[in-house]
Amino acid sequence: MNIAYDIDIAVVGGGAAGLAAAVAAGRELSGRGTVALFDAQPRCGKKLLATGNGRCNLTNRSAKPSCYHTDDVQALSRVFSGVNVDDTLSFFETLGLICREEDEGRIYPSCGQASAVLDLLRLELARLHIPEVCGCRVEKIRRTEDGFLMSGSLGEIHAKSVIITCGGKAAPNLGGVDWGYDLLRSLGHSVTGLNPSLCPIPVQSPHLSSLKGIRSHARASIRDERGEIYADSGEVQFGDKALSGIVLFQLSSAAANVRSGQLRVELDMLPERDKEELIAMLNRRRVLLSHLTLENFLTGVFNKRVGMCILKEAGMTPLSRSVSELSDSDIRRISSVIKGWRFPVSGKAPWNSAQVTSGGVRLSEFDGLTMQSRRCKGLYAAGEVLNVDGICGGFNLQWAWSSGILAGRSCAHALVH
């Protein structure tokens, strides 16, 4: 047999979780064993470089289990008790990274460069003599008497322990693949349904094409037949066939975790006024602007094209009619659209538009204290390949760091003790 690599710990996947796991394992081993990091891409950390629009929203001050979707909240809490936000910031400080907190607890490198995060992790790998074996896809893995045997595109790899950090399906343009699920399945693990998350939400509406590119402040909610599932306020961006913006990303995270049913997005276009105040305001405008046509009835309240679409959605066509013709029931219909403009969800977003994968290998099949598999001794996993996805704002990288550091540290600890 041609064994190209014979090591103590093989980390499979050189993204955020894998880089953190390899560094943590190398530090814990402290020369008492060997680690190697394998990645299918020509370079490690491709996705990491794209995070936070190239600035890397490294973590969030308020990261806690309730900011995530998973099948095992208890295990998730254990992971965050093992490595929390402060531990993560200390970890990065020991690499030389200084961070700065911005709005809503979002933490970024002070230098504003995601590349600095990657550089410092890679420099630490070099200091620890951990090779990055790039262009090497691990295709198969099996348990042997003394560890694991993997077939990689560069030859066979033998390792006493393995940490799977292959990431998920999101953003295939940045290296997102589903290979990690297959590797873990082959070792006895199960995988939930997979859905794109933190992405624009595809919706149906006859008005979208005329609104393309417009941004408006709104309270957006995602609903099914039973009512509101999740809501958030912020800037909504109208796209050709989808609604976008950070607030919609947060909604997509909730939507990805709803099993069935017809979903719709509802926009409250004037969240700062209640319905009574809004009706009073529209009634005042009906008098004040009685000399205008309906086309301009909402000009000055909303972007003009948004205002016209709201009126069309309320059935006020043709807009060439006079404002003075509006009846009390017309005013109520317009106010209903303003407070709850409905957009039926038309399907799943493309994986290329998603930042994370909702779903993955069940977390309950791993020990949250160590990230070791409960089904296969010596096997560990971390990061997006597992069934944990967080909201937008640094939460997903925090999961990658916490689970990666914990997996690397405990895997190495188990080998030397």
Ligand X SMILES: Cc1cc2nc3c(=O)[nH]c(=O)nc-3n(C[C@H](O)[C@H](O)[C@H](O)COP(=O)(O)OP(=O)(O)OC[C@H]3O[C@@H](n4cnc5c(N)ncnc54)[C@H](O)[C@@H]3O)c2cc1C
Select the span of 91-99, 177-185, 222-230, 234-242 touching ligand X (CB under 6 A).
177-185
* Residue closer to ligand X (CB basis): 111 or 174: 174
What does the block give as tokens for 124?
């630490």
Q: Is 14 among the residues that bind ligand X (CB under 6 A)? A: yes
In this chain, which residue has its C-beta nearest to ligand X? 15
* Residue closer to ligand X (CB basis): 13 or 65: 13
Q: Is 200 among the residues that bind ligand X (CB under 6 A)? A: no
Shortest distance, position 171 Cβ to ligand X, whole Å: 4
Q: Return d(Cα 204, Cα 217) in angstroms, integer.
A: 20
Geometric angle at alpha carbon 328, from 322 and 330, rounded to 5°: 60
Q: Is 52 among the residues that bind ligand X (CB under 6 A)? A: yes
166 phi/psi in degrees, rounded to 5: -85, 0
Counting beta carbons within 10 angstroms of the beta carbon of residue 296, is it exposed (0 to 12), middle (13 to 18) or buried (19 or more)? middle
Select the span of 48-56, 97-105, 124-132, 209-217 touching ligand X (CB under 6 A).
48-56
Whether the Cβ atoms of residue 263 and residue 257 lie closer than 8 Å to each other: no
Q: Is 195 among the residues that bind ligand X (CB under 6 A)? A: no
Q: Return d(Cα 198, Cα 175) in angstroms, integer.
A: 17
What is the SS3 string spanning 114-142? Answer: HHHHHHHHHHHHHHCCCCEEECCCEEEEE
Shortest distance, position 191 Cβ to ligand X, whole Å: 14
Provide the greatest CA pair distance for the chain: 88
Length of the chain: 417
* Residue closer to ligand X (CB basis): 167 or 368: 167
Q: Is 177 among the residues that bind ligand X (CB under 6 A)? A: yes
Q: Return d(Cα 392, Cα 199) in angstroms, integer.
A: 10
Q: Is 175 among the residues that bind ligand X (CB under 6 A)? A: yes
What does the block give as tokens for 409?
């540290």
Counting beta carbons within 10 angstroms of the beta carbon of residue 299, is it exposed (0 to 12), middle (13 to 18) or buried (19 or more)? middle
Contacting residue, 13, 26, 65, 245, with ligand X by CB under 6 A:
13
Select from 283, 337, 274 the least CA-distant residue to 308: 337
Residues numbered 88 to 147 that lie near ligand X (CB under 6 A) are 137-138
* Residue closer to ligand X (CB basis): 29 or 40: 40
Contacting residue, 179, 238, 341, 380, with ligand X by CB under 6 A:
179
379-381 and 155-164 strand pairing = parallel
Sequence-ordered list of residues with C-beta below 8 angstroms from that of 372, at least 6 positions apart, any chain:
366, 378, 379, 380, 407, 410, 411, 414
Q: Is 41 among the residues that bind ligand X (CB under 6 A)? A: yes
Select the span of 46-54, 91-99, 300-308, 333-341 touching ligand X (CB under 6 A).
46-54
Number of residues engaging ligand X in binding (CB under 6 A): 41
* Residue closer to ligand X (CB basis): 161 or 396: 396
Select the span of 116-124, 168-176, 189-197, 294-302 touching ligand X (CB under 6 A).
168-176
What does the block give as tokens for 325?
């013709």
Q: Is 40 among the residues that bind ligand X (CB under 6 A)? A: yes
Whether the Cβ atoms of residue 15 and residue 165 lie closer than 8 Å to each other: yes
Q: Is 37 among the residues that bind ligand X (CB under 6 A)? A: no
* Residue closer to ligand X (CB basis): 188 or 300: 188
Q: Is 64 among the residues that bind ligand X (CB under 6 A)? A: no
Shortest distance, position 186 Cβ to ligand X, whole Å: 11
Q: Is 268 among the residues that bind ligand X (CB under 6 A)? A: no
Whether the Cβ atoms of residue 368 and residue 72 lie closer than 8 Å to each other: yes
155-164 and 3-12 strand pairing = parallel
Select from 391, 51, 350 the least CA-distant residue to 172: 350
Q: Is 167 among the residues that bind ligand X (CB under 6 A)? A: yes
Select the span of 257-265, 309-317, 369-377, 391-399 touching ligand X (CB under 6 A).
391-399
Shortest distance, position 128 Cβ to ligand X, whole Å: 18
Q: Is 408 among the residues that bind ligand X (CB under 6 A)? A: no
Residues numbered 321 to 380 that lie near ligand X (CB under 6 A) are 355-356
Contacting residue, 47, 189, 219, 223, with ligand X by CB under 6 A:
47
Select the span of 9-17, 77-85, 117-125, 368-376 touching ligand X (CB under 6 A).
9-17
Q: Return d(Cα 84, Cα 315) in angstroms, integer.
A: 53
Residues that bind ligand X (CB under 6 A): 12-18, 38-41, 46-48, 50-52, 56-57, 137-138, 165-167, 170-171, 174-177, 179-180, 355-356, 383-384, 394-397, 400
